[in-house]
A and B are shown apart, each in its own frame.
Chain A
Amino acid sequence: MSADHHHPHHGHDGGHDPHAPVNEAHGVAPESALLERALRELLIEKNVFSADDLRRQIELTESRTPELGAKVVAHAWCDPQYKARLLAEAKPAIEGFLGIDLNLTPELTVVENTPARHHVICCTLCSCYPRAVLGIPPAWYKSPEYRARVVREPRAVLAEFGTRLPDGVEIRVVDSTADMRYIVLPLQPAGTERLSEKELVNLVTRDSMIGVSVLSAPRR
């Protein structure tokens, strides 16, 4: 690092040191950060919850990743009876299979993509997302642009994600406006029927479970 001080113009990302200590979280307005801190300290002071309760909840939230959803999807592809249960009543089917507790989390519904019907999930009012199963939503999912455009011009938005659906495929834009959170069961790519469930898990991506992409068979 000290060597760089003698060569400030040799083209390192505008002189920014990528290993410099991080002083503040990116993208959080100072007033929002202040408001969060004031509210958090008050709630803890008034014994609404403890600092450890909060830490535990953050740890739990951040432990949830799209891999959980991928396991559910692969299992549904391999077991038609499980798939039927998952589509009928997602929460108990996911709890039972993954062994996680979804008791305090919002309701869940799984919608199935077929060769004739493609679902894409959004929340036009805020950023509702199946966090309990897919983890923290991607930044674009929360952006005003995605939320406004996906309901107005879904085919154009999907094309920007690199997803072009045949004209015959119906697009269903699923706006999560209330207590229900949605997960897409993507279409299993052709040519993957002989893969093991474990191999299938690795195929399933976050974006395919939001519905902005479709899955393809692994390249050989």
Chain B
Amino acid sequence: MKAVFSPGDKVKVRAAEVATHCRTPHYLRGKRGVVTRVFGAYPNPEQLAYHRLGVPYQPLYQIEFDYQEVWGRSEHATVITADIFQHWLERDR
């Protein structure tokens, strides 16, 4: 699958609930961030966990989140980054 986001793009992590294995932490779901790196595509871990091939491979991005966006209170000069697969991201505005 082709990477649709580039560094600098504003994105939002999908606020979905899944009952099965997934690598998108709960604390970042629904949060807005900015793409900082594009890492290439990797097998989808949600399929790998169940002995499937993980196709289509999902582009992986490093996303930067402001502390306040994540926790709802300000913290001086603090940023959180996490690596999120494309199918968990939507364009923000």
Contacts and interface: CB of A to CB of B under 8 A. Distances in A.
Contacts of B39: 107, 179-180
A127 to B, nearest CB: 13
A187 to B, nearest CB: 16
Interface stretch (A13-21, A74-82, A151-159, A203-211): A151-159
A155 B78 contact: yes
A178 B25 contact: no
Contacts of B64: 172
A151 B27 contact: yes
B79 A170 contact: yes
B80 interface: yes
A182 to B, nearest CB: 9
A151 B80 CA distance: 7
23 contacts: A109-B37, A125-B23, A153-B75, A155-B75, A155-B78, A167-B77, A169-B77, A170-B79, A171-B79, A172-B80, A172-B81, A173-B78, A174-B81, A175-B80, A175-B82, A176-B83, A177-B23, A177-B83, A177-B84, A178-B23, A178-B84, A179-B39, A179-B60
A170 B77 contact: yes
Interface in A89-130: 107, 109, 124-125
Contact-size category for A: 20 to 34
Contacts of A11: none
Interface of B: 23-25, 27, 37, 39, 42, 45, 60, 62, 64, 70-71, 75-85
Given A154-B78, A155-B76, 17 more contacts: A107-B39, A124-B27, A125-B25, A167-B76, A170-B77, A171-B77, A171-B78, A172-B79, A173-B78, A173-B81, A175-B83, A176-B83, A177-B84, A179-B39, A179-B42, A180-B60, A180-B83
Contacts of A109: 37
A168 interface: yes
Contacts of A168: 77
Interface of A: 107, 109, 124-125, 151-155, 167-180
Contacts of A174: 81
Contacts of A167: 76-77
A168 B37 CA distance: 24
Contacts of A155: 75-76, 78
Contacts of B84: 177-178
Nearest to A180: B83
**Top 6 closest pairs, chain A to chain B, by CB:** A178-B83, A175-B82, A170-B77, A179-B42, A177-B82, A173-B80
Contacts of B76: 155, 167
Contact of A170 (B37, B42, B78, B85): B78
A179 B77 CA distance: 27
